[in-house]
Amino acid sequence: MDQTLAPIAAPIPVRASSTDDPAELLRFAIDAHCLGAAALATLVEIRGGAARSLGAHMAGAADGRFCGYVSGGCVEAAVASEALLAMAQGRDRMVKFGDGSPFFDIVLPCGGGISIAIHVLKDVGALQHVLDRLGQRQAAGLVYSPERQTLISVDPPLRTCWTEGDFLTVYRPRTRIVLSGQTIEAQAVARLAAASGYDVIVRGRGEGARVAADIIDPFTAVVLLHHDLDAEAAILEAALHSPAFYIGALGSTRTHRRRVERLTAFGFRRDDIGRIKAPIGMFGPTRDATSLALSVLADIAAARLVAYA
């Protein structure tokens, strides 16, 4: 009597985590590849509006687990299913959703459309190189070729974009906040910054000269939350000699005028002094520590977007 084998059901996509941190997504892809197979999905085209920026990733494993976002949560399960098909066939694929897509039942709330490049990983060397550079607080880049179905690491481009048929993605280290102050405001900023996924380093009075060379890099925001100018002097001077993308200091407009006078007397140029955001924060004045913390972190997030759009 002939016997036939029942077809093996395809895995059901299931979200493994809610992270959208690129480094965590690349680690997930590396681990999944080591366990069997993995695919990296990348947002490579936006038509109209979109919830994510070019270069946003999802990573999928052969067992159906996935993480990351390429939209606002409305197409991710479909992208994960397409990634499973790509892994099963062993071929990359380009998929459209929303405007211009053959999937009429999947509509993006923003009314636009997106294209997703799904790459079946053949090796993870390029991804590990990106992680190594990010671990060293350096920017990194990947080039994906749809024609060759390859992914290679490169020096980071200025921005994520298409060029000559290849898609270039830039990765930058997560925001670091160097926080100086022992006030209740400093405690609130440190808690909220840590909860937001930032790297937080707290420094005390007089430690400014010892931090600049080691920890204040172009992806660092320096936050000074002291109630007297002498307490902030050392770290403020170190910050002004650093490549920090944001320098903010607590105090009123009157206090800042005194700060400017002191720095001018010390020989700092007007352009250098102009880097200081004071009074600190995006909105104000505030009258409680939590509101100040929200104001400071919103200002840092906005400044980061401007610096690395």
**Residue 207: pLDDT above 50?**
yes
Give dist(CA 236, CA 234) in Å, integer. Answer: 6
* Tens digit of each residue's pLDDT (9 = 90 or more) over 28-84: 999 999 999 999 999 999 988 888 999 999 999 999 999 999 997 779 999 999 999
What is the pLDDT, as a whole number, of residue 1?
42
What is the pLDDT, as a whole number, of residue 113?
86
| 14-20: average pLDDT | 94
Tell me the pLDDT band of 102, cut-offs 50, 70 and 90: low
**Residue 175: pLDDT above 80?**
yes
Percent of all residues in the chain with a pLDDT value above 90, rounded to a whole number: 79
DSSP-derived 3-state class of residue 108? coil
CB burial readout 118-133, b (16+ within 10 A) else e: bbbbeebebbebbbeb
| CB-based contacts of 49, cutoff 8 Å, min separation 6 | 108, 110, 111, 112
Tell me the pLDDT band of 106, cut-offs 50, 70 and 90: low
Give dist(CA 56, CA 273) in Å, integer. Answer: 36
DSSP-derived 3-state class of residue 85? helix
| CB-based contacts of 198, cutoff 8 Å, min separation 6 | 174, 175, 176, 177, 297
Helix runs in 223-288, H state only: 229-240, 253-265, 270-273
Percent of all residues in the chain with a pLDDT value above 70, rounded to a whole number: 90
| 242-253: average pLDDT | 95
What is the pLDDT, as a whole number, of residue 198?
96
90-99, 163-172, 197-206, 227-236: which is most confident: 163-172
**Residue 2: pLDDT above 60?**
no
Give dist(CA 283, CA 27) in Å, integer. Answer: 37
Residue 103 has which token pair?
A: 């999937």
**Residue 100: pLDDT above 90?**
no
| 110-124: average pLDDT | 91
Average pLDDT, the chain: 91
